[in-house]
Structure 1
């Protein structure tokens, strides 16, 4: 397929995704954009939703890469009305969304005893409430169609406490995302929607670089704690996302697939 990268882990192996409309929140850069590209290589018509300036141009670039319809649109995942309008626009331009990936997320390093309440709320608002609102907006289109797949982006931080950073808000938000995933999976399974999570370990991304750029020793520590001896690449998630979005996972729902190089085994 046009735009495929050998060895990316997400070559076009799921023919049922060809022509499916996929929406990726946080799709303007980082893990979200990598996942969007992976779905594009599967033949999906992809919509990138993000507040980043230039997301419209990124959508146009994705369309050029894949030779398929794609778009970028500004959207705030903490604003239910904004998300509804964005999904309505996607449905009008590309068709009924069949796949959702909720990659919008932020992190904060703060000592719990001193963390400002507004910072705590912001992390929960974007990571947890934003995931719920995106799922809600997606479901308004996918449930009437009786078919759809949601891939939330959790984290290994949902089940372990990362060290040495202090990130109680992030950990709590991702634990919430994974239990939300299970809750929606049970509620929507009888109506044709599957809901699963991909849960990355330490992965080279814009989010992790905000910490490693300030504290270079962090990357060395994280790699030492990972049995595979390295941080993940965004493309390490591509195959899992494509699988969960596709009919190959038609009997899989409510699961969180950890992609962490073995970190949580120790």
Structure 2
């Protein structure tokens, strides 16, 4: 019975930042749980993600789009709703990062991080929410925040990133309260250090892997796959009374 509540058969989903990492892993998980999944990313690898989704036996759509471009995201959501008749699930996962001391950071860079991480999440969530409201869908919207929305990481300097992710957490709570009357649930997930080395040119030693592992009580990095079950849970009926919550998945990093 409980496993049936986790099934997403008959539902449609949209995942941004799905070319790699957490977005790709969770897009595939949503498909494995039974949903048809549309994927969005700036990178052309998003089309490969769609191909992998189709191999699960589910339908997939792929879009190269910029989450900060309102017209592009509106078009994506409209296309998904037109193709599949509705949008049930939206995982706003796309984002960017920064590691520049505050005193040296150009204002343009600060604005860029806020624009992508916070404004981009709002643009995507608003487009999905409008579609759900117009089509009377009691849907689920999930936003990727970060443990950095709760703490100031060391030794890296990422005031713009931390600020943007704290904003995403409050955005999720605010939308949850506003859209509850429409039956739309909104939650956030706040990952800690997740291993995605294969997706970046950075080597572990270049970003202080040993320090990060030492400061994480579980003494290791997380894997993108370790977020899949949570996303599937939040997307479906099993979490029907869950909204306005933030889930920290950080190996205990913020516990002390």
Match of 2:144 in 1: 153
Q: CA deviation at 1:211?
A: 5.3
Moved more, 137-146 or 147-156: 137-146
TM-score (norm 1): 0.91
1:93 has 2:93 as partner: no
Determine if contact 1:14/1:42 at 8 Å carries over to the other structure.
no
Is 2:187 the partner of 1:202? no
Is 1:81 aligned with 2:74? Answer: no
Q: Distance in 2 between matches of 1:222 and 1:69?
A: 39
Give the ranges of 4+ consecutive aligned residues of structure 1 lying more than 4 Å apart after TM superposition.
Answer: 206-214
- Flag structure 2 segments of 5+ consecutive residues without an equivalent: none
Tell me the CA shift for residue 146 of structure 1: 3.4
CA contact (8 A) 1:69 1:94 kept: no
Shift of 1:108: 0.8
Query: Aligned Cα RMSD in Å?
Result: 1.7
TM-score normalised by the chain length of structure 2:
0.94
Map of 2:126 onto structure 1: 136
- Structure 1 counterpart of 2:225: 235
Shift in Å at residue 94 of structure 1?
2.6
**CA–CA separation in structure 1 for the residues paired with 2:70 and 2:130:** 12
Alignment pair present for 1:180 and 2:171 = yes
Counterpart mapping for 1:16-165 below 5 A = 16-64=7-55, 66-144=56-134, 145-165=136-156
Deviations, residues 112-143 of structure 1 (Å, cap 9, x unaligned): 00101111111111100000000011012111
1:252–1:207 CA distance, 2 compared to 1 (3 A): farther
Question: Structure 1: how far apart are the matches of 2:158 and 2:28?
Answer: 29
For residues 203 and 214 of structure 2, the distance between their equivalents in structure 1, rounded to whole angstroms, comes to 14
Distance in 1, matches of 2:199 and 2:51, equals 27
C-alpha distance in 2 between matches for 1:197 and 1:15: 18
